[in-house]
Structure 1
Amino acid sequence: MSTRQPDRPPFRTRIAALLVDYALILGWMALLGGASLILALATGRFYNWLELGAFGAQLLGFAVLVLPVGIYLFSTEASQRQATVGKRLRRLKVIDAVTGGRPARGQVLVRTIIKLLPWELAHFSIWHSAALAAEGAQQWPGWLLAVTVAANLLPVAYILMAGLQRHGRGPHDLAAGTRVVQVEAG
């Protein structure tokens, strides 16, 4: 076992891995869209999630979209390979930032939750905005506009931090005590 510090991957490699993982997520979304279309054709109508209220619609969205993505991220990064499909293809893995070893499952869970936080904030904003629009509201409350802005700026901040921070650690890595490293070919 080498005592050499694992290498920080180039930013473009991290972005390439991210794009592969997002392609997989978009594939899952396409399957959900196809299932919704089949259900609509079978029943003669598209289901209006807002019938559940803004909170119910957000909860349903979490159950069918965010939770499966979170399970994917957690299960792959907590696995023996310590990497999502995108990271594996780009020869990256997640490690404990202090020991350089495999991160604990709790670290990976924190990493996953923090990573998905902007996405969940976006869903919160979307469903509450849709509910207000459905009610005919002409103005949105300031707090909802603030959440919407935060949901859009946080992913940019996460990516910039991973690119600019000394060890390439985004907020999810800092909170979890992890980092992403380049794996030597072998």
Structure 2
Amino acid sequence: MLAVRRLIAYGIDFIILAMILVSVQLIINVFTGGGLSRSLQSGWAIELWVLLTMSAPVWLYFIYCEYRTRQTIGKKMMRLMLERVDGQPLKLRQTVIRTLIKLLPWELTHIFILLPEPCGLFPKPPVFRYTCPISS
């Protein structure tokens, strides 16, 4: 049952963060007249945009809430509190490592989706051309 409550708490946090951060992105896009979104052409530019407007705020949210108050909004709603085995609050380093482990798959997904050729590791697929044997 605890695992389900933790999952629900994470889902609540995710929904709240998504609503806020996507709204901020939309406001910035409207404020710039859409110019910013048109200028994000390369995978690196998009990754930087996502890092600044999504990833960094999410990391800060989890680190701050779990270190300072021992609860995120979702954890508070599900009546969960973060603590060590001995009942003491986590140290900042422990909170950062916990957040790293929790959010690393999310960050790797961004990288692999937005940067389809990271460091040239993935060669471009060959282009096949077909010529019709019947000419008209």
Same fold per superposition (TM over 0.5): yes
Pick the aligned partner of 2:46 from 32, 39, 57.
57
Q: 1:120 maps to which residue?
A: 107
Identity %: 23
The one-letter code of the counterpart of 1:60 is W
**Cα pair 2:29 2:37 within 8 Å, conserved:** yes
Could you tell me the TM-score, scaled by structure 2's length? Answer: 0.75
* Alpha-carbon distance in structure 1 between the residues aligned to 2:107 and 2:29: 24
Higher percent of residues as strand: 1
Alpha carbons 1:96, 1:103 under 8 Å: kept:
yes
Alpha-carbon distance in 2 for matches of 1:44, 1:124: 23
Match of 1:29 among 7, 15, 21: 21
Using the TM superposition, give the Cα deviation of residue 130 of structure 1 relative to its aligned residue in structure 2, in angstroms: 8.6
Where does structure 1 lack aligned partners over 5 or more consecutive residues?
Answer: 1-8, 132-136, 140-186
Can you give the 5+ residue segments of structure 2 that lack an aligned partner in the other structure? 119-123, 127-136
Instruction: Give the aligned residue type for 1:113.
Output: L
CA distance in 1, matches of 2:35, 2:47: 24
**Which TM-score applies when normalising by structure 1?**
0.57
Equivalent pairs counted in the alignment come to 121
Determine whether 1:78 maps to 2:70.
no
Inter-partner Cα distance in structure 2 for 1:86 and 1:32: 21
**Deviation readout 1:45-78 (Å, 9 max, x if unpaired):** 7334234xx3343233111110001100011000
Separation of aligned partners in 1, 2:113 and 2:66: 29
Name the SS of the counterpart of 2:30 in structure 1. Answer: helix
Which one has a bigger Cα radius of gyration?
Answer: 2
